[in-house]
Amino acid sequence: MKPYKSLLFCLRYAAFWLAFFIVARILFLVFNLNATHALTMQSVWQIFRHGMIHDISVTAYILLIPFVWLAVTSFFHGKWIVQFLIVYTWIILLVVTVIVIIDVELYKYWGFRLDATPLLYIKQPKEMLASVTAGIIVRQILLGILLYGSFLILFGKWIKPGNESYGKGGLAGLILYLLLAPSLIIPARGGFGVATLNAGSVYFSKNPFENHAAVNVVFNLGYALSNLESEKNPYTFIDGKTAAYIADSLLVKSDRDTIRILNTDRPDILIIVLESFTAKAIGCLGGVPGITPNFDRYAREGLLFTNTYSSGDRSDKGLVAVLSAYPALPSLSIIKYPKKTQNLSFLSKDLKKLGYHSAFFHGGDVDFANMRSYFTNGGFDKIVSKSDFNPRDFNSKWGVHDHVVFDSLASFLAHPAEPFFTVFFTLSSHEPFDVPGKPINPSAGSDEKFLHAVHYTDSCLGVFLDRVRQMEWWNNALVILVADHGSRHPGFHDANDYRRYHIGMLWLGGALRLKGTIPVLVSQTSIVPTIVRQMDLSDASYRFGQSIFDPARKQVAMFFYNDGFGMITDHSNFAFDNRSHSVTRTVTGYKDADIIAGRAFLQYLYDDFMAR
């Protein structure tokens, strides 16, 4: 095939697949007219506009094999070259047609796009098809034949290379496709950014149906299969009822808190999630002196929690623990599963019922780790991220420098719609620690770079707090500073070392009636239950979190890493490896009952994750 004809064929071929996915999306909207009829034309446009990102990605994956094929056959001649492309198209078209036809019908029953869920029921085909009548099956088969046949005709008439195209591409063809094939990686992964495309990248609306309609079901299924976990709980070691009983004994709650720390039950709430703010870098928590002078300064006038631990070791896990009181999992994060996060409890949703306006600020790519779908499912009214800032303010890798976002946040809060709930997730203290200004130590080892980045964010934090405390809302505000997780820096502590999870947490604002130091053992999952309890709301939906001031709360903090967990109590501190089924680190004594309790909690948590 001549190089220029090969290139024209590939352009037509790409257009062919994009057209198929547009028709598939139209079919999805038609099949779900009950929800579609409520959409505005603007919403429909947004569905197709955002969904095109997925469509282009899947098209790039489909084009990869033809591009490679045309490259390796550049020095050959024969009809078999094009015949392979024809057969390849027939097979792929059949596969994606079957996926689309199944999905448009099942969505009406499930309420989510086709993913790996059917594999959970593959051993029970009768139950899986119980709601599907013979008439529906026949209708879907006929529809599939119509869709498949129509695009086969389209391919044959306008896309398929004709006889005149047979022939050698030669060296020019080889070079062309050796250049083009790798370039498909860019649209396949969703662009040049740090974050690769994921199932929630096309989420744009507070209306779940609009988000679901934007999803390309082929992409969704492929993404789910690539992130597939076993249909069995890998942490099962006792029967489920016993595990639930033991876990519930760790999560016991009373009716009300014994300590009242707020002077109002309707405060404005600002949560600043500080990237990697380990206690090892915070002076007032015994960390390296001089790194966080502003955090230390404000600790003298707020409520400092000196014994707080992160639930996990990554931001995607920490955000869910802080804002939904849902613990981390050892080998995965629930935030990567939009279908599951839409079933989580959210502080933002609880506050929305009371008329609160919610906003999320972040200087990075909000699609990283599926954050967009998480905050969209949480009903946030406003999401500000990297794309909302000028590129001149970007650092070398992740996004916008913290001082720029802090300034934008302060401007936003100058005249807020009250009551408000605002979350800011900082960025600059994430590797590679690319921040403005001179490093504290020019030798710039990894520890020094980290400490310099924390120092920079702390300086931005100080400027911000000094500015907003002069605003009128501060007198009625609860401001929470908390890390998303700890860090191996400084000191390079291993993943099973509790010091890696010891983090900073400080509560500020005029809504506080209690100030000082709180030395009790605290987990990130206690933050939301404490807030709602202090606001005289129920924390019953936050099954895995307990208020800090609940008199029935057991002194337990658990952290999870791949593939193990740590458990800190008032009498023990140890880490357990799930692969070797053994304790790998001991700080203080533990009993067999502690190991059983920790393993039962993990089993119970994973059962809950699978059920969502």
Statement: residue 129 has pLDDT above 80: no
Q: How many Cβ atoms sit within 10 Å of the Cβ of residue 47?
A: 25
Q: What is the mean pLDDT of residues 229-248?
A: 89
Statement: residue 421 has pLDDT above 70: yes
**Mean pLDDT, rounded, of the chain:** 90
Domain at 260-611: CATH code: 3.40.720.10
| Higher-confidence position of 77 and 479 | 479
Statement: residue 376 has pLDDT above 80: yes
Statement: residue 571 has pLDDT above 90: yes
Q: What gap in Å lies between CA 529 and CA 520, rounded to an integer?
A: 16
Statement: residue 57 has pLDDT above 60: yes
Where are the CATH 3.40.720.10 domain residues in the chain?
260-611
| Per-residue pLDDT, 164 | 43
Q: What is the mean pLDDT of residues 294-321?
A: 97
Query: What is the 8-class DSSP label of residue 504?
Result: E
- Give the whole-number percent of the chain exceeding pLDDT 70: 92
The residue written with tokens 């800090």 in the block is 548
| Per-residue pLDDT, 340 | 93
| Per-residue pLDDT, 575 | 94
| Per-residue pLDDT, 226 | 79
CB 358 within 8 A of CB 348: yes
- Name the pLDDT band for 439 (thresholds 50, 70, 90): low
Q: What gap in Å lies between CA 92 and CA 21, rounded to an integer?
A: 13
Query: What is the 8-class DSSP label of residue 535?
Result: T
Model pLDDT for residues 395-411, shown as the tens digit of each residue: 757 889 999 999 999 99
| Per-residue pLDDT, 168 | 55
SS (H, E, C) 266-321: CCEEEEEEECCCEHHHCHHHCCCCCCCHHHHHHHCCCEEEEEEECCCCCHHHHHHH
Lowest-confidence pick of 88-92, 177-181, 286-290, 343-347:
177-181
The residues, ordered by sequence, that sit 6+ positions from 259 with a Cβ below 8 Å of its Cβ are 514, 549
Long-range own/partner contacts, residues 256-261 (CB < 8 A, 24 or more apart): 256/533, 257/530, 257/533, 257/534, 257/547, 257/549, 257/550, 257/551, 258/549, 258/550, 258/551, 259/514, 259/549, 260/513, 260/514, 260/534, 261/303, 261/507, 261/512, 261/513, 261/514, 261/534, 261/549
| Per-residue pLDDT, 306 | 98
- Name the pLDDT band for 58 (thresholds 50, 70, 90): very high
The residue written with tokens 């658990």 in the block is 558
| Higher-confidence position of 434 and 213 | 213
Tokens coding 186: 């860019």
Q: What is the mean pLDDT of residues 563-570?
A: 93
| Per-residue pLDDT, 579 | 78
Q: What gap in Å lies between CA 460 and CA 462, rounded to an integer?
A: 5
Helical residues (DSSP H) of 325-387, grouped into ranges = 338-341, 347-352, 371-377
- Name the pLDDT band for 562 (thresholds 50, 70, 90): confident
CB 60 within 8 A of CB 184: yes
| Per-residue pLDDT, 167 | 47
Model pLDDT for residues 244-287, shown as the tens digit of each residue: 999 999 999 998 898 999 999 999 999 999 999 999 999 999 99
Residues 86, 92, 98, 99: what is their CA dihedral angle, to the nearest 10 degrees? -160
Model pLDDT for residues 155-188, shown as the tens digit of each residue: 988 887 654 444 456 666 677 777 777 888 888 8
Residues 310, 314, 319, 321: what is their CA dihedral angle, to the nearest 10 degrees? -40
Q: Is 456 exposed, middle or buried (0-12, 13-18, 19+ CB in 10 A)?
A: buried
Model pLDDT for residues 207-227, shown as the tens digit of each residue: 888 989 999 999 999 888 877
User: Of 104, 126, 98, 103, which is closest to residue 114 (Cα–Cα)?
Assistant: 103
Give the angle subtended at the CA of 344 by the CAs of 338 and 346, to the nearest 5°.
Answer: 110
Q: What is the mean pLDDT of residues 55-73?
A: 89
Statement: residue 608 has pLDDT above 90: yes
Asked if residue 432 has a cis previous peptide bond (ω within 30° of 0), the answer is yes
Q: What gap in Å lies between CA 476 and CA 293, rounded to an integer?
A: 25
Separation in Å, CA 79 to CA 67, 82, 549: 17, 6, 76
| Per-residue pLDDT, 2 | 59
| Per-residue pLDDT, 166 | 46
